[in-house]
A = this chain, B = another copy of it.
């Protein structure tokens, strides 16, 4: 079975661990969000790709969900001693090596997809990890701060501001001109199932869908497209998805996210058991819906979630 998964960072990565356990024989291609990539200290940092790679490769800081286990911060401290920031972005020494290799390869002319493949040769994530695009796309968030409207990089909004000011708009800068990375459209066309994990529907999956051609390819793939709600009981499971949902005019609820994707794209949707009363509404919108436990508290529960998603896909197909 060929499964294509659109993934952001922590939520997508943890779900993928469950999916690998639920479908150990499957051929899984992950299309990773690169809209939150950022250049720091002259280095190209790809937080979402790295979170997937480290999580599936056994290098992730488990409690934190991002960054490397057993991390140290010598380089960052030294950069601060030079007065060079930002200090709000937590790059550790082990992590720095990844960004140094990536930046060196990009400087030598390799596209991000080739670099990602090279990095994965070490981590052996057990999936094929593709960036959504080799072209630079940068998610900016329009906020009002100090009485003026300004656009800040998504990481600045998310990490430095902790989404504490309202997001007025979310703009994937460069997306219109971006092309899907080599292999992305081919993987979608060859997929048996397409899955939207409980990643952020705006700044993760939404950004991937903003790359021209990807949304269309999914809609036209003719295979079940199933998703898992990142919202449980009207609040995001983790992160601050509600903040950016507001910016795109979508209510923070499991049902609203499903109809935001829409029945033109989505065939099946899993909501948590606490949101069982949303099932009827989602189904009325033309999307098959089931209520199952959606908290990824450990590998077992996550594996069960992935199995439910695959079961729902088969139900849709049949």
> CB-nearest residue of chain B relative to A95?
B78
Question: What number of copies of this chain does the assembly contain?
Answer: 2
Majority secondary structure of chain A interface residues (helix, strand, loop or mixed): helix
Contacts of A119 in B (CB 8 A): 82
Pick from B79, B94, B97, B104: contact of A97, CB under 8 Å: B79
Min CB distance, A124 to chain B, in Å?
A: 12
A-B contact pairs, 25 of them (CB 8 A): A41-B100, A41-B101, A41-B104, A42-B103, A42-B104, A72-B74, A74-B74, A74-B94, A74-B97, A75-B97, A75-B100, A78-B94, A78-B97, A78-B98, A79-B100, A81-B97, A82-B97, A82-B101, A82-B122, A83-B121, A83-B122, A84-B101, A84-B104, A96-B96, A96-B100
Contacts of A147 in B (CB 8 A): none
Pick from B42, B74, B81: contact of A93, CB under 8 Å: B74
Q: Count chain B CB atoms within 10 A of each CB in A74, A94, A119 and give the residue with the most.
A: A74
- A81 and B57 CA atoms in complex are apart in Å by 13
Contact status B41-A122, CB under 8 Å: no
Q: Which parts of A34-85 form the interface with B (CB within 8 Å)? A: 41-43, 72, 74-75, 78-79, 81-84
* CB 8 Å contact bits of A98-115 with B (1 = contact, 0 = none): 101101100110000000
- A118 and B84 CA atoms in complex are apart in Å by 11
- A134 and B224 CA atoms in complex are apart in Å by 60
